[in-house]
Copies of this chain bind each other. A is one copy, B any other.
Amino acid sequence: MAADSQSQPITAGLLVIGDEILSGRTKDKNIGYIAEYLTNIGIDLKEVRVVADDEAAIVEALNALRHRHTYVFTTGGIGPTHDDITADCVAKAFGVPIDVDPRALAIMRERFKPEELNEARLRMARVPQGAELVANPYNKVPGFWIGNVIVMAGVPAIMQAMLDGVAPQLKTGVKMLSETVPANMREGDIGTELGRVAKRHPEAMIGSYPFWQPDGQPNTNLVIRSRSTEALQAARKDVEAMLAKVRAGR
């Protein structure tokens, strides 16, 4: 991962593909994982979309995201059944042909016996023209990477293994730093003053997240984020001074 402090922020979109997520039958676990992963390597996840196993919806979302972000990651829809249409949709979005890829086929031949390599499993070797394969150390069947779009499996363990393989090849920006200050007050007690602090620190982002303590008392975590250590610490100091002042005034 090459971090270049002079470069623009590196951004990403995530496209989660699958009827089962939208019906609620499967509870997505990939959004939170990928969000945290990208943040940790200095890529800003800017937008997530979840769409059905529907060609028009997938192609449209993919084209919207890929023109806006440095990278687009997709999860789901690359298995062996009729509802696995992601690879074809990616080919369509890029306007390139798709066919069984000899490199993917070679990998599949290592994984499956000849009699297992039926029409369904051969679908998994279909890769849009011009794509590079994404290794799958979990169960071999590869994902792929075309243009700025990285196509991964939906099963979390497989997606995670693919992402580990891809990450070292990604351009990354300056990592977003983050510190959390518990306010020990309710959000509404400090909102006005916090807004003023936020305005004074445009180089930092300050988020406010209410929660209930285990004893049932309301509390608030203030999360300060910045790419600059100096800006982060200046904002933190200001937040802490504000908290002390509000506490003293109560």
Known contacts being A82-B195, A121-B191, is A22 close to B48, with CB within 8 Å? Answer: yes
A124 → chain B, closest Cβ, in Å?
8
In whole angstroms, how far apart are the Cα atoms of A141 and B74 in the complex? 37
In whole angstroms, how far apart are the Cα atoms of A207 and B210 in the complex? 39
In whole angstroms, how far apart are the Cα atoms of A36 and B119 in the complex? 33
Return the chain B residue nearest A205 by Cβ. Answer: B19
Chain B residues closer than 8 Å to A199, beta-carbon distance: 82
Main secondary structure of the interface of A (DSSP, over half): mixed
A188 in contact with B120 (CB, 8 Å): yes
A 120-144 binary contact with B (CB < 8 Å = 1; else 0): 1101100000000000000000000
Known contacts being A50-B31, A81-B195, A194-B81, is A207 close to B121, with CB within 8 Å? Answer: no
Chain B residues closer than 8 Å to A176, beta-carbon distance: 23
Q: How big is chain A's contact interface, by range?
A: 35 or more
Among candidates B23, B28, B123, residue contacting A39 with C-beta atoms closer than 8 Å: B23
In whole angstroms, how far apart are the Cα atoms of A190 and B112 in the complex? 15
A243 → chain B, closest Cβ, in Å?
13
Among candidates B21, B46, B120, B178, residue contacting A191 with C-beta atoms closer than 8 Å: B120
In whole angstroms, how far apart are the Cα atoms of A81 and B222 in the complex? 11
Known contacts being A79-B187, A82-B191, A120-B190, is A24 close to B39, with CB within 8 Å? Answer: yes
B19 in contact with A207 (CB, 8 Å): yes
Chain B residues closer than 8 Å to A205, beta-carbon distance: 19, 83
A 20-45 binary contact with B (CB < 8 Å = 1; else 0): 11111111100111111111100011
For residues 62 through 114 of chain A, which have their beta carbon under 8 Å from a beta carbon of chain B? 79-84, 112
- Say if the beta carbon of A118 comes within 8 Å of chain B: yes
A 204-219 binary contact with B (CB < 8 Å = 1; else 0): 0111111000000000
Between-chain CB contacts (< 8 Å), 8 pairs? A19-B205, A24-B39, A27-B32, A31-B50, A48-B50, A118-B189, A119-B191, A120-B194
- A: residues with CB less than 8 A from B are 16, 19-28, 31-40, 44-53, 57, 79-84, 112, 116, 118-121, 123-124, 155, 176, 178, 187-192, 194-195, 198-199, 205-210, 223, 225
